[in-house]
Structure formats: C-alpha cells, structure tokens
Structure 1
Amino acid sequence: MPLAIATAVRFCGLMPAEAITAATYNPAQLLGFSDRGSLEVGKRADLILLHHKDERQLAYELGGNPVDLVVCGGKIA
C-alpha cells in the first residue's frame, strides 16, 4: 500500500492526503465496511502506526517498510 500511495502522488497528481484517503476510507466504503476506514469513536480499531513523524512522508518514500505497529480489531497483531 505504501507503494500505491507514493505512485498515486507521483504519477496521478494526488495530494498525499487524497492518496491516503483513496487507499483507506474509500475502499472500506466501497466494500460496505461502514465501521472501518477512518478513526472515529465507535469504529473498529484497525490501524497501523508508522515510523514517520508525518504521514505525508509515506507518499514520497519508495521501498522499505514504514510500519511500526499493526492493530487489528483493537488488538496488537
């Protein structure tokens, strides 16, 4: 997914926030997961924590693994 986000920014003209939304919120809604895709009270806690201090770095870095921690259903995976 980091590669897809970086490619969307570099070659499709999306802003980093747009690319991140296109890779998270929009697919969840398309698949009918109304309880996922965004961080809100009452929604399922599926998320990743990145090594980056700013999520926009995700769009400008190719390769490597930026993931520090994975949380699935509120539990560390």
Structure 2
Amino acid sequence: MRQSMGHVGSCYDNAAAESWFAILKAEIGTTVWETREAARADVFRYVEVEYNRSRLRRHPDYGYVTPLETRSLLRQDLAPAA
C-alpha cells in the first residue's frame, strides 16, 4: 500500500483544506458568532446556497456544471430503471 499524498511536514498535505478555508474566509469573512450553532448555520447557508448553487466557477473537467447540477445528474444515474 502506498500513501496517496505527501508525508508529515509536506506542504501538500493540507493544500486542499487550506485552499477551501481561504475561499470560505474571503467570502464569508471573519465574523465572530454568538454560538457554535450560529456559526454552523452561517457556514451551512454559505456552502448550500452561495457555493453549491450559484458558484460560477465551473470546471471544464466536469463539463462546466455546478456541484448542484452534478449531484442531480448523479441521482438520475443511480435511480433504478423504471
């Protein structure tokens, strides 16, 4: 078995997570929420509404579809044939 990504101390270990959190921080800001629930709700709203549904950055490798459109297509593919 081979390790799929870098090793401890490698700059590539957390690159995807750091990129995501940089986008989140830039777009949602560095708000201080009253409670964890409020923070979760705000992040959930951002991910579901702003990021997944209306994100304009569509990648050519995925046919220029949004994450929401991709999920819908996947559900159609997985639905049992009638």
Q: Tell me, yes or no, whether TM beats 0.5.
A: no
More helix by proportion, 1 or 2? 2
Q: TM-score, normalised by structure 2?
A: 0.31
More strand by proportion, 1 or 2? 1
Q: TM-score, normalised by structure 1?
A: 0.32
